[in-house]
């Protein structure tokens, strides 16, 4: 919170994004740990990770092929 003054002209949105990121990672991590306690938890967690990665990669390539404007470099 001390660094908010050094983040430039928009410290509140920057702090909000930082807080959201910390909470997001913490909540997903704790759910992953709870899922590992289930007998089929490792398979479910692996399936969730692979599906998310597959959708992300598939969306990227479909967007490259069918998108109107290219991604900025």
Interval 12-64: pLDDT, tens: 777 888 899 899 899 989 999 999 999 999 999 999 999 999 999 999 999 98
Tokens linked to 43? 């398979």
Report d(CA 55, CA 3) in Å as an integer.
Answer: 36
pLDDT attached to residue 17 = 85
Tokens linked to 27? 């909540």
In Å, the largest CA–CA distance within the chain is 50
Look at residue 71 and give its three-state secondary structure: coil
Please report where in the chains the tokens 């807080």 appear, as a residue: 19
Which is more confident, 69 or 47? 47
Report d(CA 57, CA 62) in Å as an integer.
Answer: 9
Q: Are 31 and 44 in contact (CB under 8 A)?
A: no
């Amino acid at each position: 919170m001390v660094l908010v003054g050094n983040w430039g002209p928009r410290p509140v949105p920057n702090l909000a994004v930082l807080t959201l990121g910390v909470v997001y990672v913490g909540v997903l991590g704790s759910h992953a740990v709870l899922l590992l306690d289930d007998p089929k938890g490792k398979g479910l967690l692996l399936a969730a990770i692979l599906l998310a990665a597959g959708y992300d990669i598939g969306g990227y390539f479909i967007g490259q092929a069918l998108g109107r404007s290219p991604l900025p470099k």
